[in-house]
């Protein structure tokens, strides 16, 4: 182990942690921090991937601090941006006096988010971003019921709890929580297929015409890091479009490069009507946002001087500066988190008849680098969904996932790497 990574110099927890425990216990709500004999340690500083406790022990932070430290703890660019902003203007007045740094962030977000997500409502915590999505869905549809998932975690404010799917967080507050959400089992790629999951969704929602939105984590985080089957998010999109239901992705945990793309929904080439982001967004500084399609966000009336949805720290300048610096860092290093280098373009042009009969696509001869040919199904998992045609190298066995928009099929170029 390198000297600059893990370094244990004494007891864990050490004497300084133990000394700080008594005042913490005396003055903090006892519900906040679990304090046992061997856990936790008090943190003193953090840098990059390591955290140091108050006794000088240093640890590798494999948790990325709740998924926040996507650009590392105290990333120098983020630190500098916050320091400069703090010295210039620490607080803007929420919805009253906007700032240039806030406007710059709004523009930047619309450039890194999937296309069409252009209108933002900034906030401070993830739960607030979720609340904004719920309120927007009600305004935009005139409906009041949500579809959510067992095991879901969207935060602990009352609205977010309504679509949460972890009973220990909801039950103590049951009388205050609307609890009219329809809950589905989160589809796990290891145990179910997109077709089975969508059939279950159809059956559950068949009799309901009161659904405002389906709210889903593209990868269920706190519920156990559960990945849905390929194509599920795209199938949800198709279902929602057909039923006039809004689709909300909670990417608070998965956003900002944490799954190999800027946002997890990009793996399924699916664009929601609203996306909730937070955590890694500010590189450690609290800031969050709900970003929507303009047509959805415009369900809110224009402000006449009294905003219906705001907060004191909305668009806080330091948060905006931190987010811009974080995005800049991710942008510069996107090759490191991107799977783009593992994508292979594929050189196949589809005959006319395959556009009508999709089953023949499976046997489409795919030229290989050595001049031979293999049927497409031998090298590809094929999913028909929305969005541009993409091909990804999927795993060591050289299987590919193809997502094809068959309205304009072009399976692209270059089998040379297969
Ligand atoms: C997917 C998801 N949504 C929402 C939240 C709530 O965010 P916050 O704790 O900032 O309110 C979390 C927090 O873990 C989360 O993982």
Q: Phi, psi (5° rounding) for residue 292?
A: -130, 165
Cis ω for the linkage preceding 13 (within 30 of 0) = yes
Q: Do residues 175 and 267 both lie within one domain?
A: yes
- Report the Cα 360 to chain-centroid distance in Å: 36
For residue 412, is it within any domain?
no
For 404, the token pair is: 């094809």
From 32, 67, 126, mutation site for ligand 1 pocket: most ligand atoms within 8 A of C-beta: 126
Q: Distance from the CA of 214 to the center of ligand 1, in angstroms?
A: 17
- Residue 280 included in any domain: yes
Tell me, yes or no, whether 107 and 128 share the same domain. Answer: yes
Q: State which ligand 1 atom lies nearest to the alpha carbon of 251.
A: 1
Polymer length in residues for the chain: 418
Q: Which atom of ligand 1 is nearest to the CA of 279?
A: 10
Question: 52's torsion region: left (phi>0), alpha (psi -120 to 50) or beta?
Answer: beta
Residue with the smallest CA separation from ligand 1 atom 10 is 126
Percent of the chain past pLDDT 70, that is, above it, reads 79
Q: How far is the CA of 153 from the centre of ligand 1 (A)?
A: 7
Q: What pLDDT, in 10s, does the model give residues 251-299?
A: 999 999 998 889 999 989 999 999 999 999 999 999 999 999 999 999 9
Q: Does a structural domain hold residue 100? A: yes
pLDDT tens-digit series, residues 78-111: 999 999 999 999 999 889 999 999 999 999 999 9
Regarding whether 191 and 57 lie in a shared domain, the answer is no
Closest by CA position to 260, among listed 161, 184, 164, 342: 342
Residue 384 is encoded by which pair of tokens? 């028909």
Same domain, 129 and 262: yes
Query: CA-to-CA distance for 312 and 316, rounded, in angstroms?
Result: 9
In this structure, the residues whose C-beta lies within 6 A of any atom of ligand 1 are 125-127, 130, 153-155, 217, 221-222, 250, 252-253, 278
What pLDDT is stored for residue 364 in this prediction? 66
In a shared domain, residues 144 and 170: yes
Statement to judge: residues 149 and 292 lie in one domain: yes
Average pLDDT over residues 356-364: 57
Return left, alpha or beta for 409; rule: phi > 0 is left, psi -120 to 50 is alpha, else beta: beta
279 domain residue, yes or no:
yes
Mean pLDDT confidence for 316-321: 98
Between the CA of 391 and the centroid of ligand 1 the distance, in Å, is: 32
Q: Which domain holds residue 53?
A: 15-62
Is residue 45 in some structural domain? yes
Domain-located, residue 8: no
Based on its alpha-carbon atoms, the radius of gyration of the chain, rounded to whole angstroms, reads: 24
Ligand 1 centroid to residue 305 C-alpha, Å = 30
What atom of ligand 1 comes closest to residue 127's alpha carbon? Answer: 11
Minimal CA–CA distance to 326: which of 281, 296, 375? Answer: 281
Ligand 1 atom with minimal separation from the 217 CA: 1
Looking at the predicted structure, is the pLDDT value of residue 2 above 80? no
Give tens-digit pLDDT for 132-174.
999 999 999 999 999 999 999 999 999 999 999 999 999 999 9
Are residues 368 and 348 in contact, defined by beta-carbon separation less than 8 angstroms? Answer: no
Quickly tell me which residue has 């974080």 as its tokens.
326
Q: 46 alpha carbon to ligand 1 midpoint, in Å?
A: 22
d(CA 170, ligand 1 centre) in Å: 15
> Are 300 and 309 within 8 A, CB to CB?
yes
One domain, residues 200 and 286: yes
Burial 157-174 (b: 16+ CB within 10 A, else e): eebbbbbbbbeebbeeee
What mean pLDDT, rounded, does the chain reach?
Answer: 85
Total domains present in the chain = 3
Please report whether residue 417 resides in a domain.
Answer: no
Q: Is the peptide bond before 40 cis (omega within 30 degrees of 0)?
A: yes
CATH value at residue 191 = 3.40.640.10
On whether both 221 and 352 belong to a single domain, the answer is no
Q: Do 373 and 333 share a structural domain?
A: no
Name the residue among 350, 363, 351, 366 with its Cα closest to residue 418.
366
Tell which of 284, 302, 337 closes a domain: 337
Greater confidence, 68 or 353?
Answer: 68
287 C-alpha to ligand 1 centroid (Å): 12
Same domain, 26 and 165: no
Residue 414 within a domain: no
**Tokens 């239901």 identify what position?**
245
| Domain C-terminal end among 337, 365, 383 | 337
The structure tokens listed for 297 are 């966000």
Q: Are strands 288-293 and 117-123 parallel, antiparallel or unpaired?
A: antiparallel
Q: What's the pLDDT score for residue 389? A: 42
Contact 348, 412 (CB under 8 A): yes
Q: Which atom of ligand 1 is nearest to the CA of 278?
A: 10
pLDDT-based confidence at residue 62 (cuts at 50, 70, 90): confident
Same domain assignment for residues 57 and 148:
no
Q: Which of 5, 39, 62 is the last residue of a domain?
A: 62
Answer yes or no: do 103 and 196 share one domain.
yes
120 pLDDT exceeds 70?
A: yes
DSSP 8-state code for residue 188: P
Closest CA to 277 of 391, 155, 172: 155
CA-to-CA distance for 101 and 109, rounded, in angstroms? Answer: 12
Whether the CB-CB separation of 59 and 51 falls below 8 Å is answered with: yes
């Amino acid at each position: 182990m390198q000297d600059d990574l893990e370094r244990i110099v004494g007891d864990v927890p050490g004497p300084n942690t133990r000394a700080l425990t008594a005042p913490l216990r005396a003055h903090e709500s006892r519900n906040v921090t679990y304090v046992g004999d061997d856990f936790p340690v008090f943190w003193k500083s953090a840098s990059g991937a390591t955290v140091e406790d108050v006794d000088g022990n240093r640890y590798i932070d494999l948790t990325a601090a709740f998924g926040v430290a996507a650009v590392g703890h105290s990333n120098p660019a983020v630190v500098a941006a916050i320091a400069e902003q703090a010295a210039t203007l620490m607080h803007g007045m929420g919805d009253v006096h906007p700032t240039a740094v806030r406007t710059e962030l709004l523009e930047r977000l619309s450039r890194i988010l999937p296309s069409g997500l252009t209108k933002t409502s900034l906030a401070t915590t993830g739960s607030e971003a979720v609340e904004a999505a719920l309120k927007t869905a009600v305004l935009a549809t005139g409906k009041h019921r949500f579809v959510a998932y067992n095991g879901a975690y969207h935060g602990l404010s009352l609205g977010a709890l309504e679509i949460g799917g972890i009973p220990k967080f909801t039950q103590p507050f049951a009388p205050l929580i609307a609890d009219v959400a329809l809950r589905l089992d989160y589809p796990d790629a290891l145990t179910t297929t997109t077709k089975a999951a969508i059939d279950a969704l159809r059956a559950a929602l068949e009799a309901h015409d009161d659904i405002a939105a389906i709210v889903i984590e593209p990868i269920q985080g706190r519920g156990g890091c559960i990945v849905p089957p390929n194509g599920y998010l795209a199938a949800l999109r198709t279902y929602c479009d057909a039923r006039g239901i809004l689709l909300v992705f909670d990417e608070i945990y998965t956003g900002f490069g944490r799954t190999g793309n800027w946002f997890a929904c990009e793996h399924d080439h699916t664009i929601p009507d609203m996306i909730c982001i937070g955590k890694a967004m500010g590189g450690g500084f609290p800031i969050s946002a709900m970003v929507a399609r303009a047509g959805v966000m415009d369900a809110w009336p224009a402000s006449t001087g009294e905003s219906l949805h705001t907060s004191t720290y909305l668009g806080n300048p330091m948060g905006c500066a931190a987010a811009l610096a974080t995005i800049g860092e991710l942008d510069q290093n996107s090759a490191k988190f991107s799977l783009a280098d593992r994508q292979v373009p594929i050189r196949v042009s589809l005959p006319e008849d395959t556009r009508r009969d999709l089953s023949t696509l499976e046997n489409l001869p795919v030229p290989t680098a050595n001049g031979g040919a293999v049927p497409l199904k031998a090298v590809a998992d094929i999913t028909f969904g929305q969005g541009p045609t993409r091909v990804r190298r999927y795993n060591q066995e050289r299987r590919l996932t193809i997502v094809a928009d068959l309205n304009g099929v072009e399976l692209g170029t270059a089998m040379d790497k297969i």
